[in-house]
Amino acid sequence: MSEWKAASPSKALRRAAAVVGVGNSDWVGDWKRVRNGEKPTDSYGYGAIAFREALADAGIDKSEIDGLIVGPTTAYERMSEVLGIDPRWGDQADAVLSVAQAVTAVQAGLAETIALVYGNDQRSAQIQYGGPQAMGGDAFLSYVYHSPWGLTSQGALYALTFRAYCEARGFDPLDLGHVAVAQRAWSSMNPNAVMRKTITLDEYRESRYICEPLRLYDYCMINDGGVALIVTTAERAARFKKPPVYIEALGRRDLNRGATSLEPRLTDFYLSAQQDCARQAYEMAGFGPQDMDLFQVYDSFSVHVPLALEGYGYCEVGEAGRFLREAGIGPGGKLPTNTGGGHLSESYMQGWAHQLECVRQLRGECGERQVPDCRHAHYTSDVAGKAVSIIYSR
C-alpha cells in the first residue's frame, strides 16, 4: 500500500477570482444607538446595508449579481428576497469558507459575480455565547459539552486552552497583553473601529480577570453590524472601477477526532491542522510567511494570535512570546497583524471584517494605519477543529 499524503487544493484556483467591492454598516454609530436602547434593524437589515455599500464600492447594479452566500446568522432564501435579487446559485457559510466557496463557484462556472453578505444583530438581540441561555443543542454542542463541569462559555474553554498552551510551550501569560495593546493601537487609527482608546501593557495587566488567565482585554466585543463583499472572475475583475484584490491561494485542514468536545483546541492547539493548512496555501501561492506584508487572525480571544504565529510559520513553535515582545505585531512592528483592530477592538463580525481589512490594505485605502507597499495579506481562522487560510494579493 502506498503511503498516504495530504492533498493540496488545485492550483487552478490560484487567482481564479477577485474581490471587486466591499462594504460594511455603521458599526460605531450602531454601537452607540444600541447602547442607548435603540434597535436600529435586524440581521437582514445590517446585511442589506453592507450589500448596498459593497455594490457602490464596486460600481455595479444588483442585477449583475448571480450568486449569493450568506453568513450563518441569516437564511439564504430570505436574504435573497430582502436584497431584491434572484441568484442562480448560493449557499450559507462562515466568513472564510464563504470566500473559498465563492472562488470554487466562479472557477467552476456556477456563477460569475457573487455577493457574500453577513448581518448580525447579536448585541441588540442579546444573544448569549455562554451561560445557561447558550444551550443550543446540536448546533452549539461545543458550548454545552463541558456543562457538567460548569463550563458553558467559549471564554472558559479558551482559558483552559491558554493555560495548557503556556505550560506546553513555555509562554509567559503576561506576554498575551502585547496582542491586545497592539490591536488597540491599530484601532485607534481606524475610524470604523468601535474601540479607539489606546491601552498600555500596564493597563492590560491591571485589568480584571474574566476567566483566569484571560482578562477583560483578551475577549472580543459583541456588537451589531453587517459586512459584504463582491467576488467575481479574475477576467471580469479587470473591468471594475477599483483595482481588484485577487484571492491568491486557499488552504484547509480539519481535525474531526474529538472536534465536538474541542479536544484539538485543548491539547495540540490546532498545530498539526495549522501546519498542513499553511503548507497548502503557501504551495498554491508559491511564496510563504516571509513574503507576507499583513497577517489577519480570527481573534474571538487574543490567544488565537500566538497560536497562529507558531502554527503558520511566522515564528518557531515555542517562540511566540519572544516574537510578540521583540518583533512586534503593532504599528512599526515586524508583522502588522489585525490592523483594523480585529474582534478585540474594531468590530466582532465573526471574521468577516478581517476580509474587508485585507482588501482595503491591499488597495492602499487605510489612511493613517496603512501598511506601506502592502502586496500580500494572509488571513487565518482556527475554529471548532478546522484551520482555514486565505492569501490575498493585489
What mean pLDDT is reported for the chain?
93
Q: Which amino acid is at 323?
A: F
Q: What is the mean pLDDT of residues 240-265?
A: 89
Domain 15-125+221-393, CATH: 3.40.47.10
Per-residue pLDDT tens over the stretch 30-62: 999 999 999 999 999 999 999 999 999 999 999
Lowest mean pLDDT among 145-149, 195-199, 380-384: 145-149
- % of the chain exceeding 90 in pLDDT: 83
Residues with Cβ within 8 Å of residue 332, at least 6 apart in sequence: none
The CB density around residue 164, as the number of other CB atoms within 10 Å, is 15
SS3 296: strand
The CB density around residue 88, as the number of other CB atoms within 10 Å, is 10
Nearest one of 189, 185, 193, 163 to 176, comparing CA atoms: 163
Q: What is the mean pLDDT of residues 152-165?
A: 90
Per-residue pLDDT tens over the stretch 303-353: 999 999 999 999 999 999 999 999 999 999 999 999 999 999 999 999 999
Domain extent listing, the chain: 15-125+221-393
As given in the structure block, the three cell numbers for residue 195 are 474601540
Nearest one of 292, 253, 250 to 270, comparing CA atoms: 253
State the pTM of this model. Answer: 0.94
Burial class (CB in 10 A: 0-12, 13-18, 19+), 100: buried
Rg (CA), the chain: 20
Cα torsion at 290, 293, 298, 303 (round to 10°)? 60
